[in-house]
Structures are given as C-alpha cells and as structure tokens.
Structure 1
Amino acid sequence: MGITRTPTSLTQSSATRGGIGESTLRPDGTLKVTGEFAYSSDLWHEDMLWGYTLRSTVAHAAIVSIDTSEALATSGVYAVLTYDDLPTEVKHYGLEIRDTPVLAHGKVRHHGEPVALVAADHPETARRAAAKIRVEYDALPVITDEASATAPDAVLVHEGRDDHHIGHVPHPNIVHRQPIVRGDADRAAERADVVVSGEYVFGMQDQAFLGPESGLAVPAEDGGVDLYVATQWLHSDLRQIAPVLGLPERKVRMTLSGVGGAFGGREDLSMQIHGCLLALRTGKPVKIVYNRFESFFGHVHRHPARLWYEHGATRNGKLTHVRCRIVLDGGAYASASPAVVGNAASLSIGPYVVEDVDIEALALYTNNPPCGAMRGFGAVQACFAYEAQMDKVAAELGMDPVEFRQVNAMEQGTVMPTGQTVDSPAPVAELLRRVKSRPLPPERQWETTEGADVRALPGGLSNTTHGEGVVRGVGYAVGIKNVGFSEGFDDYSTARVRMQVINGEPVATVHTAMAEVGQGGVTVHAQIARSELGVTQVTIQPADTQVGSAGSTSASRQTYMTGGAVKNTCEAVREKVLDLGRRRFGSYHPAWATAELLLEGGKVVTDGGEALADIADVLEDDVVDLELEFRHRPTQAFDLRTGQGNGHVQYSFAAHRAVVEVDTELGLVKVVELACAQDVGKALNPLSVVGQIQGGTTQGLGVAVMEEIVVDPKTALVRNPSFTDYLIPTILDTPTIPVDVLELADEHAPYGLRGIGEAPTLSSTPAVLAAIRQATGLELNRTPVRPEHLTGS
C-alpha cells in the first residue's frame, strides 16, 4: 500500500495526541474483527415478539383478496396486519415523493413488495404463519423498460400521480427528467474532425452489506415507541414513520444500533414502520431481522441504466461537444430517483472541459425492483459510459488515452455544463499522471521457480487455467463526484458538545445523530474534539433523535457536514471556556486579555506557547454545553429546461489504473492491481482515508466483473436474491490497491477536507473494463463483463 501525501495549505497542527491528521484507531475495530460487536440483529428484550413480512410473489398484479384467518389461528401468533389495519389516513411514505405504501393496497408493483405483517413468539412461528396467509392475485401487464413504460397504451405503474415532478416529464411512468443544454452542440459538431458514439448498459447492483435489515421496536408508557434500528438517517426515518403511526415525532424515539454496512441501501425505510406497528398493536417489543433472501427485496438497489453518448474532437485532441441520453430504471417507487437523475445529468461528461453539450437524463417507473441510493449515486453509471467514450475517441485520433484525457482535463476555474465554476482544486491531469507513472506489477506472477501459484491465475483457486491463453491489459479512468446534498436542499448537520471536569480531568462529550455505518465518523469526531478543545478524553454518545439532525450518511458528506458541525460547536465551547478563564484569571496575567489563547494538552496556552492555567482549573464545577447547526454554502436547483444552476457544493476526483490478466479462451478475468490516486483535501485520519478508497475501489471492481441483480425481462421477477447467485468480490478477488493521496485544500470546507467515500467507486469500474478491452480487443459496452462476453459463447 503506497501512500504519497501532498501537503495541504490549510493544515492545523495540534499538540494533543489523537487529533486531526493522525491515524487513530477505530473504537469499535477490535470488537468487529473478533465478532463481539453488537449489531442491530443482536438486540434483545424481555418478552419480545418476532415480526415477519409476507411479500408478493409476483411483480404486477391486482390484489383480489387476502385471507389471514388461518395465520391468526396459529398458536403463538399475536397479530396479523394488512393495509386495512393501518391506524391513520397516512398510509404511504417516501424519501422525496410519498408514493410507497406501508403495505400493498389494491395491487402490488414489484416482486417482493410487503403485503402483510405477522408478530409471533418465535421467528419460525411468524414465518410459518405468514405462509398461511392466502393472497389471490390477478396478473397485470409488466412494465420493464423504456419502451413498455412510455408506449401510448402503457399501463401506469402509479395511477393519479400527484407530485412536484409530474409537470416536467413527458409521461406519468417517468419519475423525473433533467436536461442540460449549454452552448450549441449541433454547431460544435461541425468543427469536429472525429465523432464517436456508443451505447452502454449498466447492470443493477446491490449494496450487498453483510448485516441484514433489523431492529427492535419497544412500546412506551406514554403511548409512543422506542425504535432501535440500523439506518443511515435517523431524522429522515422519523419524518416518515411518525405520520403513519399517528404519533407526534417526540413520541417516536430513535436510537442507532450497530450497522453492518449501508452504501445507500439503508436510506429508505425497510422494517422501521412495520416493527413499530406490530409493537403498538401487541403492546410488546417486536424484533424484525431479515434473512438474506428477504434483504434483497427489502432495500433499494443501484439503478440499472442505458446510456447513449456522442463525443466529438478536433485532430489535436480537444473535445468539441458531447451529446448524451441516460435512462435510469427506478423500479416501482421513486426513492431517491429524482436526485440520482440530477447527479447523472450534471456529472455526465466527466471531469473534462466541454463548452457545448446536449444532455438528457431521466428515471422510469417500472415493475422492476425499486432503485435508489448507492455509493456513487448516478455518477457511477455516467462514468462507465463517458470513460469508454474517451478511450474510443483517443483510439480514433491515435492518441495515448491518458494524454487525451489530460489535454481535456478540467482544473480549478473550469465551468461545468451546468454553468457552475469549479472554485477549488481539480487536479485531474495530475491524478492521471500519478497512476500512469507507477511501476507496473510483474507479468505472469504465477510462474515461479517453485511452481505455479493458482491464486495468481484467472479463475484463482478453481484452477481452470494454467496460463497458456492468458493476456495482460492495462486501462485508465478518472471520475468526478459531487459531495453533499445538492440542488438547493437545506443540507445541515447538528452537534452537541459538552465540556466538564471529571475526576480532575477535562472531558469532552460529543453527541450527534450521525449514523456510523463504517465510514469512521466516530473516530473523526473525537479527533476534531481533541484538536479544538485540547483534551485527551473524548466520549462519543450514541446517535439518536434526542439531538438535532445530522442528515444522511451518504453523498460523502458526513466528515464535511457533521465533522463541520462538531468543529463549529467545539470552537464555540472553546470560547466559552476561555471566557471563564478570563473572568477567573485575567486580572492576574495580562496575556489572558492580549494573546491568542488556545486549548492544548489540557492547558490554556498563549500563541507563544506559554501555559496560563489547567483547563480543569478554569472549568472547576462549570459545565459548558452547546448544541449548534452547521451549513455549507447554499446550492441551487437546476433549471428544468436548461439544467443551469450552482447545484453542487463540492467536487471530488479519483483516477485508477487497472491491470488485468484474461484467459481469452475461458473468459476468466484476474484483476492484478487497481492503483488509485485521489485528492482528499485534508486527510483527517489517513488510515481511514486509505480504507475508504480501497473499499470504494473494490465495489467498483465488483460491478465490473461479477455483480448484477438479474431480473427476468418478461416477468420482472428477481432470479438471484442470494449470495449464492449474486456474487461479490472476496479477498481472493481483490487485487493489490496502492493508493496515492493528494491533500489540496478546499478553502470553503472545514480543514480544507474533501468528501472521499464515493469517488473511487466511479473510476475503478471503467478502468477495469478498459483493461479488459485492451487485453481482448473486444468492445464490451456493458457491466458486468461475464465469461460469455469474452468468448462469444
């Protein structure tokens, strides 16, 4: 793991050990690797019942009848609920559009839609009782693609749509549409010496987190409910849950439980409302834990996409124009599709300078599984297509693909297709230079003096090839991803910080609603508190809704936003502590009034390093306790005709070089190395930064060569809802991932940092495809690449 760190201009040093810039260890790390960490599926309560969800076995059908009598008569069953049993007039929820029924009513719109709930004294009893519920369906035509969705006689997935997008789409089966028009692409095309087009298909990817959806709902004496759940956004869940239960938000108290991965799949609700309904109906705690099969139906997936692109360029390699059309399949319900469309459109040409563009992105309603947020959020699909196009244009011009990208690379000051100026570092050309300049790994590593190591061969331990037909390929890609919520969304986060003396030592307590899903916020918040407050002891309180919203753990935003809130609040706490000191000791020492005072190592010191007092002496019995919000600079909604607007707060960039070896006779691929270079602005915790980059890179590898939810195009039924048939990379599939970290500060961000978690997921996929193309000479315009695509079988 090679790490090169280019210093930031906004580095803040701290004399307190474990502050920002240091590789502090995760407090939950040992527990997780030893299997002792308590996840939400480990929750337990005395006299607890188990909940289970009956799901539809068809993708689109009218519900003729539901008979629950046999299930209710089952010994050990406490409740069976259907749509008619819901307690309020609010029976739908949704992230942006309230179009998802709590339980199916009238018809089902996708395979695995919740139809009924059961609560019983044992999970197996609940499952068997659910199997006794008789549902009679009357099949309806299935909408599975753009042609069937937008045909003049198309069946509507949602009749009587009434939402803020309906006036801006050409058909009710389109969730949202975003064009972006800048300059004159038609006229610019006349200047092009080379015009290259291509059609691309991106498969449906699952977040594939290892901890299934789970939680525990406990009825309270005040008529409310306490919900302990694994989620990505406590307050968004609360906003959707309370109206369905008919309770004020203050009576729905939510606490984050151990989260076993998320990657966007926990932004939408799963068991939250169902568990609360059963708990309130039975008056007993109810636990719901999905099995792996149910988990594939219980959360949204990454949008599959069809993309058409046209690039033009002059003979000297300058891009003249880009035209593109991106069609995302949103499935049966809206989820985050409108925002995904905005991202796909606004980032659709990549990190390149193009004056003339004509872009259209849209998302469909279909009867396929619902799709929403997943790491990379719309930009992943676009990056796969535009990077393939960049290789095609370079080949047509006879240029080196990296040089061609560098000629067109954006930089600070570049104007995006949306009209927004990139006003922070954009080292695209430098990132490409770094990955290209790395030494290549040795070829044919399986050929050793001691004999062949099958782990280094395509096919790995399956030992299906011996290297005779194996060829090497090298490919490059670079991507651009936005950071934070966009398009005028009121993106803010809240932090409460308390400072007091405990057993003679100053201690800081940080309380936020940030969902820790593995990204390392619990470490970063403690580092910020140590740096800003000069203390050693920092306690991170469990995340819950008793403090203001932290927003979602998504969009690479939490270190920027909740980290910014912690920093902001710590600064205010620090000033209060210093004011206490000025009042108590200022008359004894003039430096209290004249020097720039800091808190370091448990002491109040001057900017010259002179210690004036112990923080514990300053605080004495006082407690400083503040809760403040933090907002980034405002963004704007994109114009719905032209796509113009300052829609994003920050951009992040990553580049990859992939080295692959392919057995062209058997269609087997071995990814040998995926080198990455990424600008992170400021590495608050370098070890975590590298882990995030390597994790995102691996997810991009997965969708390149193995991951896809397969949906039957005729029935819209999911064919592979298990880890037996839905393959994800294991340690044997994961290549060497050397990481080159740049730290070019964004002056608008806390500490100059840049959100990092998503960018490496973008460029790793097209880099792998580019390498396979070079090795095989095949066009390969879809993901994932399967053996039959390489052998023609």
Structure 2
Amino acid sequence: MPTNGAPTRITQGSQTRGGIGESTLRPDGILKVTGEFAYSSDMWHEDMLWGQILRSPVAHAEIVSIDTGEALAQPGVYAVMTYDDLPTEVKNYGLEIQDTPVLAHGKVRHHGEPVAIVAADHPETARRAAAKIKVEYRELPVITDEASATAPDAVLVHENRDDHHIGHVSHPNIVHRQPIVRGDADEAARRAAVIVKGEYRFGMQDQAFLGPESGLAIPEEDGGVHLYIATQWLHSDLRQIAPVLGLPEDKVRMTLSGVGGAFGGREDLSMQIHACLLALRTGKPVKIVYNRFESFFGHVHRHPARLYYEHGATSEGRLTHVKCRIVLDGGAYASASPAVVGNASSLGIGPYVVDDVDIEAIALYTNNPPCGAMRGFGAVQACFAYEAQMDKVAQQLGMDPVEFRQLNAMEQGTVMPTGQPVDSPAPVAELLRRVKAMPLPPERQWESSEGADVRQLPGGLSNTTHGEGVVRGIGYAVGIKNVGFSEGFDDYSTARVRMEVVGGEPVAVVHTAMAEVGQGGVTVHAQIARTELGVAQVTIHPADTQVGSAGSTSASRQTYVTGGAVKHSCELVREQVLALGRRKFGTYHPAWATAELLLEGGKVVTDGGEVLAGLVDVLGDEAVEIEAEWRHRATVPFDRHTGQGNGHVQYSFAAHRAVVEVDTELGLVKVIELACAQDVGKALNPLSVVGQIQGGTTQGLGIAVMEEIIVDPKTAKVRNPSFTDYLIPTILDTPTIPVDVLELADDHAPYGLRGIGEAPTLSSTPAVLAAIRDATGLELNRTPVRPEHLTADA
C-alpha cells in the first residue's frame, strides 16, 4: 500500500454533529488549512519509480521519426514507451468520442501533446531521459479559427472521423452542431421597436486548480493494477483505461486520493493511462506528478468563444426575439465539446421569456489546446453575451437595466426555447430585486484621515494611483444553469450504507465513488445519514471502484444525485432496521406493528415521539447493509434540427451586482464588491453553500478582468503556461461578496435542493463587465478586460 497519501476513512462524530440544514464543519477542513491534508502528489511507495511525459513542442506536425536509444541508455531508466509499445489495439480514449491517442501516432495535433513516456528511479533522471528522446517533426499548417477550420480546402484535424456527430455537421472540422428553433424570429423582428446586435469574444480560461495532476499506479500479483488518483469520475476513468491496458475492469482497481480542486479539468484523463502502462511494463509502482507548466498542457480548458447576438424588443420593453450564433473552439480533441454545445445553445437566451428564437451553437476542431468541461460548461460564455445585450437593449429603450430584466424574467411555468416547461421555482425577478436592494459599499473607501489606503485603489499595492481619474461603476447580471447531465444521459449514482454497533454505539458507514474535490460532499453525506438514520457517528469510506459509479463531480450534480443515492440507501437501511426491531420486539409494544416508526438520536421512536427501543438493542451483533442506485427523472436528447426536447433535469439561478472603481487614465480596475442572490432550493449545509457561491463568484471575476490562456494565432502555441503570466485572483483581488440565499424548494429533488456550484460563475463575469462599462462608457465586448481596453486611446 502507498503511504503518506493513502486515503483514509473520515469519521464524523460528536464534534461535527448535525443533520440537514445545519452548518456542520468539514472533517478535512483543518487538515487542508494547516497543510497536513494528504493530496495525491503526497503518495509514496518504497520501491516506486517516477514517470515523465515528453510533449510536442509544436502544434501540428507529422512525426517523421522517434529515437529512444539515448534515453534508454541513461542509468536509472527502466522503460521508455511510444505509441508502438502500447499493448493492445485500443490506443485511443475519450469521454464521448474516442479520438484522443494515448501517445501521438503519425502526427501531433496540439502544442504539448504526449509523444513518449519514461520511467526512472528519480524524477530528475526521468526528466533528463525524456529530453534525450529525439523526435523529428515536419510541421503542418495550423487550424486556429472558424475561417481556417471550415474553408473548403481546410486541413482536417482528424482525417478519418467516424463518430455519431459526423452526419449532422457541414464540415469534418466541426465537432458538433446544435440548433434551437422556436417560433419565427424573422417575423418577430418585424414587430420590434428596437433591434440590437452585438459580437462578443470570450477568452480561454484555465481551471487553475491547487494541485497539479498526479497519481500512483501499483502493479498487482494477479496481473492487474491499482491506481491511486485525483480525478472527478473514477468509473469514467476506469472505462477508458482498462481497454488500453488490455485488462478487464475488475483488474483495474481505482481509489480516489486527495484532490486539490478540479472545476472540470480532471473530468478527462491526464496521466492515468501513462502511469499504469509504465507500472505494468516495469513491474514496479510508478508515480507521476506534473509541475505547473505541464499542468497547463495536461488538461482541457474552458472553450474560448465568439458569439453573435441579435435582440429585439417592443417600445414597452418586451423582448420580441433573439437570434444568436455561438462558435466554441474545442481544440484538437473532442472531450466534452458536444455537451458544452448542448448547454450553450439550450441556455443561450438566458432566464428570459422569448417566444421566437433562432439559435445555433457549434464547436470546432482546431490545433489549439483541447477544451472541455469547466465550471459553468457552455452557459458561462452565453451568459456573458446575452447579459451585455440586455444592457444594450435597456439603454436603447431608456429603461433601468434591472427593471428591463425583471419585465422579461422567466418564472415557474415558462417554456424554454427547447419547448421544456420550467416546473420548479424560477425566481429570476426576485433575485434581481434582492441583489439590487443590498446596501452599496461606501464611496471612496481609500480615503482616511491618515491618508490613502492604496489597497482599496485600482492597482492596489503597486501604488500607481491615488484616486485621480477613478470612476465608480455599478452593473447587474443574472444567469441560468442546468443541473446534472442532460440530453438523455443515464445520470445516476450509487451508495452503499452500512449500519452496525461499534464500541457500544450505533454507527453508519457511507461508501460511494463520489470524488470529493472540495465541494463538501463528505460533509453532506454524513448529514444525510444522521438525518435519515438517527445516528451521531458517521464514517465516510474512501471513494473507490469497489462500489457502483457515482458519476462525475461536475454539472452541480453530486449533492443532488449522489446525495439522493445516499438518502435512498439510508431509507432502505432504515426499513430493514425497523423490520429487525419488529422481529425482535414485536410483543414489546403495539406501536411496532401499528405506528409510523422513525430513527432519532440512536433510538426507535413513534411518530408521536414515544421511545420504543435503542438502536444498540435493535441491531445487537447484526449489521444492515444496502447498496442501491438512484436516478433523477429522465431527460431526452434535443432534436438535431429544432433543438426541441425536455433535455434538462433542473435549473439554478443566480444574480449579481458588481461595484467597481476604474482609473480611466491608467486602465486599472478594482472590483469593490460582488453581491450575489441565489436560489438554492434547500441549503443542506448553509456555510458550505455560501462558500460555493463565493468561490464561483471569484472564478467569474477572474475571467472578467485577468484570466486568459494566450495562444499564438500563427503557430497555435501557448504563450503563457505559468502563473507568472496567467493571472488568477488572489485574496487581494477578491472583493467583498455578500450573499443572499433564497430557499424555494424544487419538489422533484431530494430535500428540495438545487445544485449551486456553477450558477454564480455565470452572472459574476457580465456583472463586472457591466459595471466597468457603467464607469467608462466603453462597449467592452470581450473577456478579459485589459488595461489597454480602458484607457482614453482604447
């Protein structure tokens, strides 16, 4: 077994006692804050080797030759593998479309693509050996945008596509296309008093999680392998890894190790297959840990986008129609692009009532870095554009931007552009009212009797301005995000719950394959078990593939779906415990046979509160264990031509008000406040809910004013793969984030809850841009906003 980073069971006892609706503390919180928490990069095995990946220095090239001789001759090197050394005929993988080679074959399609892997007895030895592999490339023209991707004579990124989307796109360099057509947008446009058009550009964002990719693969005596890994979906990884290794899935055991954040960037494979291949080749444990530079190449990013919108409205302010076209750059491999297209199109007009819409969303194959899942998943890009449009239409009509939004806001019963009715609360107007009603922060906070506090000024501690030319701006935005996997995907989760007596106390053990990536599922699962089983002591078993799939920790789905599975399994356990009590104490009290029985505080009670027996007495030496799957209501695929269909499970809504101060002479921005109002259905853990909202808000701030992966348009090479040049918000950049939590239950969801993690990432970005526009009067149709966009010469 590995040490230092090995997963451990988390036991939550009286120090974090609490059920649903209470702010219980995270069992891993103190360890993470103090630096004692064991992440996947902390794992160690006494005889392990270190893996290293050789990556392509160019974005598109034919591989003429690979010479590994010098690398293999280096002392301490145990193995060097290229495409030709892969053990089976299955040499590709992918979430939906298996178009990604384990190691490049014939050619490379993006900067940083893996070409060869090395195992050595020291990480520096592995790194030096990888550098000695000689690869001859013959560079090819690069595809970097829609024009170059869809030209009649365009070079094909994938020459022999055979996936199920190819028959529905107009060019092989288009991964997927989804139109959404409802009503007659052209006819509706003729009734519009004002028509506003806009073209928008959304930059490529990195997930920038705390812990770079890492894992430890250990060969086992039966010829299999055990992978300890930081991931978002253990069973999806397993499904992709086993065929490449030529092993049945039961010989590829996977255990979740400490995950240092994810945000979608761990939904695809990174080093999983490489570590397993090297472990099986050498017969020794192999650990791979990316440095930050490698991490920028080792995972997908948020799709950059170009968005083209047309909105029309009557003179009274009612929206008449929306036309839009959304072009997402998926990069060299498909990843989650088809699903991102589905979200961008189906949510493309926002949380508004519009009867006549004409939407098209596509994702491209290019030689840019691969893009896939990131918090918000297609809806983020659309929200940036449609909220800018709403401000522009309101301005054309001379209306207050919040009142204009409220006039057109959807509500329960509204029919989406896909034809799907919204059958749960949709308090869009109320969220806008609440966020607008929050007190504004004081003006000119930097001024004090002792002099200027530069931390409160644009430019901060760089001390570049003292308030000259600083203008305040206020902006609003609201967004809609789907919850859970959509379009007919069989979205379910599994939970195994065991109840027994340990040390004279009833204890519940909850075992799922849910990836805890920081969202707080380990806390919520214990809260559910306490609520449903009436026990104080709950143990969360380490997540692994020895239990059924929990699906991905993404799409704001885990509390809904895996929480639902834990609740369901607890209910089944409770039924068995009560049946056991009836058998043991059938003559003890008539209520065993006649009353509604509950478990509460370690006791069996009637619905009237009368205590019948203690759980210790009921269980005795017996244990009750149930493993069960749980599914939410079904969805259907969107029609390929019209986009109609009940494609989503649930929607979540958040609204933001941004307050910014801008030095218009220097082009500096200080976001003073990002107030948020969000409907969460039911706050299972209120403290965690606020943390999720504040975290999502901060990521939206990042894409608004600083975060962007810069790709050279001529070479498709990444120019800033480090935190020196790719900036993310620090505590000094993070504004005050007051949160107003609204709880309007969704009757279709466990406890009435809504997924919450993604919605605040949508509306925070356009709110910041709206505030900057308010301060400067500039149009600002791209993210992120840079200083050169704000100065007088912009």
TM-score w.r.t. structure 1 length?
0.98
- Distance, in Å, in 2 between the alignment partners of 1:641 and 1:152 is 23
Number of the residue aligned with 1:463: 463
Q: Give the secondary structure class of the aligned counterpart of 2:57.
A: coil
Q: What CA deviation, in whole Å up to 9, does each residue of 1:31-54 have, x standing for no partner? A: 000000000000000110000000
**C-alpha displacement of 1:503:** 1.3
Q: Deviations over 1:411-464 (max 9, x none)?
A: 000000000000000000000000101111001000011211100000000110
What letter matches 1:297 in structure 2? F
1:672 matched to 2:672? The reply is yes
Give the alignment of 1:440-455 within 5 angstroms. Answer: 440-455=440-455
Deviations 1:648-695 (A, max 9, x none): 000000000000000000000000000000000000000000000000
Within 2, Cα distance between the matches of 1:588 and 1:226? 50
- Code of the residue aligned with 2:229 in structure 1: it is V
Matches within 5 A, 1:20-419: 20-419=20-419
* Cα distance in 2, alignment partners of residues 692 and 669 from structure 1: 25
Q: Which runs of 4+ in 1 moved over 6 A?
A: none
- State the alpha-carbon separation in 2 of the partners of residues 610 and 637 from structure 1: 50
- Show the counterpart of 2:644: 644
Task: For 1:376 and 1:17, locate their aligned partners in 2 and report how far apart those are by CA, in whole Å.
Answer: 33
**Contact 2:17 2:24 (8 Å CA) reproduced:** no
Q: For residue 548 of structure 1, what is the amino acid of its counterpart? A: G
Query: For the residues of structure 1 that align with 2:593 and 2:728, how far apart are their CA atoms?
Result: 61
Supply the AA of the counterpart residue of 1:199.
Answer: E
Aligned-partner residue type, residue 632 of structure 1? H
DSSP-derived class of the 1:782 partner: coil
C-alpha separation between the residues in 2 aligned to 1:104 and 1:688?
42
Distance 1:210 1:23 in 2: 25
Equivalent residue, structure 2, for 1:562: 562
**Alignment partner, residue 587 of structure 1:** 587
What is the identity, as a one-letter code, of the residue corresponding to 1:253? R
What CA distance in whole angstroms lies between the structure 1 residues aligned with 2:752 and 2:541?
A: 26
Deviation, 1:17, is 4.2
Q: Distance in 1 between matches of 2:291 and 2:17?
A: 43
- Counterpart-to-counterpart distance in 2, 1:81 and 1:447: 62
Counterpart CA distance in 2 for 1:42 and 1:156 is 42
Aligned match of 2:787:
787
CA apart distance, 1:593: 1.2
Q: Which residue of 1 is the match for residue 596 of structure 2?
A: 596
Distance 1:717 1:467 in 2: 39
Structure 2 Cα separation of the partners of residues 463 and 614 of structure 1: 66
Task: Give how far 1:504 is off.
Answer: 1.2
State how far apart, in whole Å, the 2-side matches of 1:589 and 1:86 are. Answer: 67
* Secondary structure of 1:530's aligned partner: helix
Q: Which ranges in structure 2 are unaligned for 5 or more consecutive residues?
A: 1-15
Partner-residue secondary structure (3-state), 2:201: strand
Q: How many residues align?
A: 778
Match of 1:517 in 2: 517
* Partner SS for 1:588: coil
Letter in 1 for 2:780: L
Match for 1:312: what amino acid? G
- Alignment partner, residue 11 of structure 2: none
The separation in 2 between residues aligned to 1:289 and 1:26, in whole angstroms, is: 27
Partners of 1:649 and 1:586 lie apart in 2 by 43
Could you list the per-position Cα deviations for residues 761-792 of structure 1 after superposition, in whole angstroms to 9, with x for gaps in the alignment? 00000000000000000000000000000013
Aligned to 1:721: 721
1:768 equivalent in structure 2: 768
Q: Partner residue of 2:5?
A: none
Q: Runs of 5+ in structure 1 lacking a partner?
A: 1-15
Q: Indicate the SS of the match to 1:496.
A: strand
Query: The residue matched to 2:501 in structure 1 has which SS?
Result: strand
Answer whether contact 2:704 2:769 (CA < 8 A) is retained. yes
The residue that corresponds to 2:745 in the other structure is: 745
Letter in 2 for 1:291: N
Q: 1:302 is matched by which residue type in structure 2?
A: R
CA RMSD of aligned residues (A): 0.6
Residue 447 of structure 1 aligns with an amino acid whose one-letter code is E
2:487 counterpart residue number = 487
Q: 1:529-556 deviations in whole A, cap 9, x for unaligned?
A: 0000000000000000000000000000
**Residue type of the alignment partner of 1:217:** A
Helix, strand or coil at the partner of 1:751 = helix
Shift of 1:586: 2.0
Counterpart-to-counterpart distance in 2, 1:32 and 1:404: 44
Residue deviations 1:488-509 (CA, integer Å, cap 9, x gap): 0000000000000111110000
Match of 1:13 in 2: none
Superposition deviation, residue 587 in structure 1: 1.5
For residues 200-223 of structure 1, give each alpha carbon's deviation from its aligned partner in whole angstroms, at most 9, with x where no partner exists.
Answer: 000000000010000000000000
Residue 50 of structure 1 aligns to a residue in which SS? Answer: strand
Q: Quote the Cα distance in structure 2 between the aligned partners of 1:500 and 1:588.
A: 22
Deviations 1:181-205 (A, max 9, x none): 0000000001100000000000000
Counterpart code for 2:753: L
1:466 and 1:362 map into 2 onto residues whose CA distance is 46
| 3-state SS of 2:50 partner | strand
